[in-house]
Amino acid sequence: MTPRAFWTYPELRILAQHYPAGGVRACLPLLRRRSKTAIYAAATELGLKRDGRKPGSGRRQQGNANGLRATIAIVDELGGNA
């Protein structure tokens, strides 16, 4: 089993930008050190959803996508160095 690696700011940004439109398939080539399971788990934890999905569909919902968006906005204001 591989040790858990913390998600970096650039990885979270990629996830937030590409997961809603393309899901895991869109993120895999961009997040090469992340597995399908890791990408799906992170998206679920952050409350990210695929575009066009009905509320309440799929697995239970967790996380706070607004928190992710706020974090990205703050880091962007600071010059993107996190």
Q: What is the pTM of this model?
A: 0.62
Q: Which residues of the chain have pLDDT under 70?
A: 1-4, 53-71, 73-75, 77-82
CB-based burial label for 31 (10 Å; 0-12, 13-18, 19+): buried
- Output 22-30 pairs: Cβ under 8 A, ≥24 positions apart: 23/50
Per-residue pLDDT, 47: 86
Is-contact 46 53, C-beta < 8 A?
no
Per-residue pLDDT, 54: 55
Per-residue pLDDT, 62: 47
Instruction: From 46, 43, 40, select the one nearest 69 (Cα to Cα).
Output: 46
Reported as a single tens digit per residue, the pLDDT across 55-69 is 555 554 445 556 666
